[in-house]
Chain A
Amino acid sequence: MRNLTRSVASFSWAMSLFGVEQMANLLSPRRAADAFGAVARSTEGALGPGLRSAFQTGDRLQRSMVDLSFSLVGLGSSANGGGAAQTTSGSGSTGAAAATSGLLTQVGNLAFELLQLGVTTVYWASGTAWSQQQGLPGWGNVDQQPPGTSS
């Protein structure tokens, strides 16, 4: 019990200082994004298989919504988006067509993410998620950042 109390206190204190640091990092948003991403990935790693699946689905949905919101206010698509919405630097009409296509892609993506959220919720609520077996680690996702290349 003592260890649990100590750990909860450490966690709260770490989160407080982390928040302060990221406020300072707002002047360099890339750094703040990396820091938040690292904490999110670490937290995700501590989740069990069932909740991890729910986290990933919700996370993708939130990202889709953010991408769509930014596109609607004309701030462009995400750098690591779907790939179908590639921007061009051609004529005005080509640029407009690309923007429309990009917007449609993001709307479509959001619709699929919403459906996937429903599927995952049923999967989670039915209890199947808790017995989901993981396979061989070598077949897991390939890190976006190779070891030793972090800035």
Chain B
Amino acid sequence: MSSALTPPLASPPVFPPGATPGIEKSGEVTRLLQAAAYYPIFNVHNPAIPNDTVPLFPIAKQTLGQALFTAVNVNEQLQRFDVVTEMGPQGLQAFNAISSDPVANVTIRWTPIPDNYAPSPGISPPPTLLNPFTTQRFTMLNGQLSFQDRRVSGISAFGSGRTFPIGGGSLNIGAVINVLQGFGALYGLTDETLPGATMVINGFITPPNDLALNLVVRVMDPNGQLATSTPVPPLVKAGPTPAGSGTFMFFLGEADPRRPMRLLYSGGEPIGAQMFENLRLVRIAFDKETLQSSTQPGPIVGTASSLLYCSFQNEGTVTTAQSTGGVFRFHDTQGRDLGSLFINMIEGRAFRTLLRGAPWPVFRLGGFGPFLNGTGSFAGAAGMMTVNGVISAFPPTLSNLYILRFLDSGGRLQERLQGTGLV
């Protein structure tokens, strides 16, 4: 108990390779990292509330302005998103549904940026045209997400992401957002009560108006103040996700006790970690009236491994992160191999976060990357992965939520997976 009263040190000293400071607190830190409230949300465009483009040529806003613009003032309604991933007799199965009523609103200024520009809250980036023909970075300025709960809770946030053209003027997008402040039930972000929150986005847009986006807000909740005592029931009035959204699956990554996470060093400083995780089925949900959240972990159905590059010694609040050699391997309840997915987190951010009870700061991690390839049931799979979690370097442990969005425009993958029950 005394460790919980000890405030974490501001920055870890440099430890030599092989040192394992704080290892005796591994169990307690793991528990603190796993304590989180999740808010899975889906954004389907409501034609009654159009988004407002910032055209390159204001004199031709209704014509060229829909094709040539440098920002979109987004004003969208958000629905609760229910994802049930199960291991059936034939393999993995996923059920996706969205609430018929909105549970929140979001406003942001969605702004393309040059590749080597570092955005920041409150700073207008150089004017950059949205180019639907190439991958492009973007930032989200003036982000406000307001829940329609009893306490009128909400968050202000800032983040960045990247587009991935998929043809027909549509763009897959992945994004990582840092929550700057919370209101109502989320008041306390980002102090000791709710030390930090991260949001990731995974979906597609067809600018300026059509979109289907999954947002998952993960609030660190070491005291369990946002946790329900009973699981949040499934949606009563629910509808399907829009066409083209793909199939979403959620998996909870946890440290593999047989293969501990190993820190990577360069020049005597930890520059990342070799990660080994067990992947559990998980159902996450929240009550739209109270914002109380429930996490129901299921059985282990796979493993994830990668090399994560992230400077744990960086004293800045935010640092870049990326991974290589990412492999997600799945098995059924009998241990039979279902196949592997190869995905790297091509762009991520780690947010240095003080967590009472942890001996040194931990790192909230958000990132994304497209599927590269697959084997077995996942051969030819296309899609996008987002990760929203938290990692501790000293002691080395983690808790990550993986969001896999499977695309299947041609129906070939679906046909092949019918036998395994994946979709």
Contacts of B137 in A (CB 8 A): 141
Q: Spot the interface stretch: A1-9, A10-18, A105-113.
A: A105-113
24 A-B contacts (beta carbon < 8 Å): A52-B116, A53-B114, A56-B114, A60-B115, A82-B133, A82-B165, A83-B165, A109-B134, A112-B132, A112-B133, A115-B129, A119-B70, A119-B127, A119-B129, A136-B120, A136-B317, A138-B318, A139-B120, A139-B318, A141-B137, A142-B320, A142-B348, A146-B272, A146-B322
Complex Cα–Cα for A136 and B164 (A):
24
Partner of A123, one of B120, B126, B132, B324: B126
Q: Is A140's CB under 8 angstroms from B135's CB?
A: no
Contacts of A136 in B (CB 8 A): 118, 120, 316-318
Contacts of A83 in B (CB 8 A): 134-135, 164-166
Q: Is A112's CB under 8 angstroms from B123's CB?
A: no
**Assuming the A-B contacts A82-B135, A138-B318, A138-B349, are A147 and B266 also in contact, with contact meaning beta carbons closer than 8 angstroms in the complex?**
yes
Complex Cα–Cα for A23 and B110 (A):
45
> Which partner residue on chain B sits nearest A137 by CB separation?
B118
Contacts of B346 in A (CB 8 A): 142
Tell me, yes or no, whether A42 is within 8 Å of chain B by CB.
no
**Assuming the A-B contacts A84-B165, A84-B167, are A123 and B119 also in contact, with contact meaning beta carbons closer than 8 angstroms in the complex?**
no
> Which partner residue on chain A sits nearest B116 by CB separation?
A141
Contacts of A108 in B (CB 8 A): 132-133
- Chain A 115-151 residues near chain B, CB threshold 8 A: 115-116, 119-120, 123, 129, 132-143, 146-149
Q: Is B129's CB under 8 angstroms from A112's CB?
A: yes
Complex Cα–Cα for A84 and B135 (A):
9
Q: Is A53's CB under 8 angstroms from B56's CB?
A: no
Tell me, yes or no, whether B68 is within 8 Å of chain A by CB.
yes
Contacts of B324 in A (CB 8 A): 146, 149
Tell me, yes or no, whether B378 is within 8 Å of chain A by CB.
no
Contacts of A113 in B (CB 8 A): 131
Contact with A along B177-208 (1 / 0, CB 8 A): 00000000000000000000000000000000
Contacts of B115 in A (CB 8 A): 56, 60, 141
Tell me, yes or no, whether A101 is within 8 Å of chain B by CB.
yes
A residues in contact (CB < 8 Å) with B? 44, 52-53, 56-57, 60, 81-84, 101, 105-106, 108-109, 112-113, 115-116, 119-120, 123, 129, 132-143, 146-149
Complex Cα–Cα for A42 and B189 (A):
39
> Which partner residue on chain A sits nearest B56 by CB separation?
A119
Please give the distance in Å from B71's CB to the nearest CB on chain A: 13
Tell me, yes or no, whether B347 is within 8 Å of chain A by CB.
yes
Contacts of A139 in B (CB 8 A): 118-120, 139, 160, 318, 349
Q: Top 3 A-B pairs ranked by shortest CB distance?
A: A135-B120, A138-B318, A140-B118
Q: Is A133's CB under 8 angstroms from B317's CB?
A: no
- Chain B 320-337 residues near chain A, CB threshold 8 A: 320-322, 324
Contacts of A148 in B (CB 8 A): 264, 266, 271, 309
Contacts of A133 in B (CB 8 A): 120, 123
> Which partner residue on chain A sits nearest B158 by CB separation?
A139
Complex Cα–Cα for A141 and B119 (A):
10
Contacts of B116 in A (CB 8 A): 44, 52, 56, 140-141
Q: Is B131's CB under 8 angstroms from A109's CB?
A: yes
Complex Cα–Cα for A90 and B268 (A):
50
Please give the distance in Å from A147's CB to the nearest CB on chain B: 5
Partner of B166, one of A84, A138, A143, A149: A84
Contacts of A146 in B (CB 8 A): 272, 307, 309, 322, 324
Please give the distance in Å from B110's CB to the nearest CB on chain A: 15
Tell me, yes or no, whether B319 is within 8 Å of chain A by CB.
yes
Complex Cα–Cα for A57 and B131 (A):
13
> Which partner residue on chain A sits nearest B168 by CB separation?
A84
> Which partner residue on chain B sits nearest A128 by CB separation?
B126
Q: Is A132's CB under 8 angstroms from B133's CB?
A: no
Contacts of B316 in A (CB 8 A): 136-138
Partner of A140, one of B126, B131, B165, B320: B320
Complex Cα–Cα for A134 and B113 (A):
12
> Which partner residue on chain B sits nearest A84 by CB separation?
B165
Complex Cα–Cα for A132 and B316 (A):
22
Partner of B129, one of A82, A116, A132, A143: A116
Tell me, yes or no, whether B128 is within 8 Å of chain A by CB.
yes
Task: Please give 18 more A-B residue pairs, beta carbons under 8 A apart, in addition to A105-B133, A136-B316.
Answer: A56-B115, A82-B135, A84-B167, A105-B165, A112-B133, A115-B56, A138-B317, A138-B319, A138-B320, A139-B120, A139-B160, A140-B116, A141-B117, A141-B118, A143-B320, A147-B271, A148-B264, A149-B309
Q: Is A112's CB under 8 angstroms from B131's CB?
A: yes
Please give the distance in Å from B334's CB to the nearest CB on chain A: 35
Contacts of B160 in A (CB 8 A): 139
Contacts of A57 in B (CB 8 A): 114
